[in-house]
Amino acid sequence: MIIPTYNEAENIQPIVARVRESVPDAHILVADDNSPDGTGKIADELSAEDDHVHVLHRKGKEGLGAAYLAGFRWGMDNGYGVLVEMDADGSHQPEELPRLLTALKGADLVLGSRWVPGGRIVNWPKSREFISRGGSLYSRVLLDVPIRDVTGGYRAFRKETLEGLGLDEVASAGYCFQVDLARRAVAAGFHVVEVPITFVERERGDSKMSRDILVEALWRVTAWGVGSRANKVLGRRPAKRR
């Protein structure tokens, strides 16, 4: 379980406890971007008390994508066969993790989805839902990926899947990092499965969503889509990584 953190001092202890209760065998890596509110120190204290909790201290805030990439490398270097993305704020419910892991037995990548039948959101304003639904629809159509929730961040990967995604080429730092990995998985021929989740708006702390993150996502997705269509017109096919 990779949990990136930046100023999540109020949330890190509860989310770690819920993960440990939901999947007792799971190991947790807190990837902290040098949080000024002391999140890293709290994570160190949790790690000292529990050998299933580990901490990766990073130099500073470099974005969600960079934190996950560092976490993936740490996990693969330490021999983990399954790596899971999860937010620290409780929006991704640890109690639903067993469903993702069960689905992974027949898949290469499992996405916790808000926009498939059975999925739902709790306590979101309509404006936020519009942005999220619109972003997934725009990405799905422009990139031609058969995924309903392209932007979601509750995901379970097999190690072999991550090894086949060309992670060294991933440059997106914000939330479009999720779109990037999804499109790479589809292009590489991996079996991607979506399972419904209930996404709950955070109760404590501040959201990391910003205008800059949305702008980055828009221009990167547009560039990927235009590039993909240009390659089709020119008869170029993306190389399979498997």
Q: What is the pLDDT of residue 226?
A: 75
Q: How confident is the model at residue 132 (pLDDT cuts 50, 70, 90)?
A: confident
The least confident of 46-50, 161-165, 204-208, 211-215 is 204-208
Beta-strand ranges (E) seen in the chain are 2-5, 28-32, 53-57, 82-85, 109-113, 120-122, 155-158, 192-196, 198-200
Domains in the chain, CATH or no CATH each: 2-233 (3.90.550.10)
Q: What is the pTM of this model?
A: 0.87
pLDDT of 204 higher than 90: no
What residues contact 181, with CB distance under 8 A and at least 6 apart? 155, 165, 170
Q: What is the CA radius of gyration of the chain?
A: 17
- Whether residue 15 contacts residue 44, with contact meaning beta carbons closer than 8 Å, is answered with no
Question: pLDDT tens digit string along 137-185?
Answer: 988 889 999 999 999 999 999 999 999 999 999 977 667 899 999 999 9
pLDDT of 240 higher than 80: no
Quick one: what percent of the chain has pLDDT higher than 90? 69
User: Mean pLDDT in the chain?
Assistant: 89
Q: What is the pLDDT of residue 211?
A: 65
